[in-house]
Amino acid sequence: MDEQQNPYLIRIIKHMCDVINVDYSAVDVKEDGWYEKHTWTIEQEDNFLMWLSSELYNNEAMREELLTDPERSIENCFTAAVHFVGNFGWETEDDIIDQIDEIEETK
């Protein structure tokens, strides 16, 4: 991810770091899998989703820059936030998928 070119991505990633109390300067977003190096709780992830949805909804320039469909609707902005977190969000603690994987590994 080349976030150095995009101030909106920098803002988003800095907020991701703030949510989990990680220093942004310690995160190397040029490294593959940088988002797999930290975790957040489901509650932190949910709060981040709401924050990012709101940021996108209220910032036309951010929507224009980051979204394929920059329509100002709550559904569109929330969907975009979910996609971002699905691709670049921190690993989620107590993720049900991780729990299923662990059970499968012990069989």
C-beta separation of 41 from 92 below 8 A: yes
Distance in angstroms (rounded) separating the CA atoms of residues 90 and 50: 15
Give the pLDDT means over successive 10-residue stretches in the chain (107 positions): 75 97 94 95 96 98 96 97 96 70 68
pLDDT of amino acid 25: 94
pLDDT of amino acid 101: 63
CA angle 106, 85, 39 (to 5 degrees): 50
pLDDT of amino acid 75: 97
Tokens standing for 41?
A: 């709780």
Tokens standing for 84?
A: 């971002």
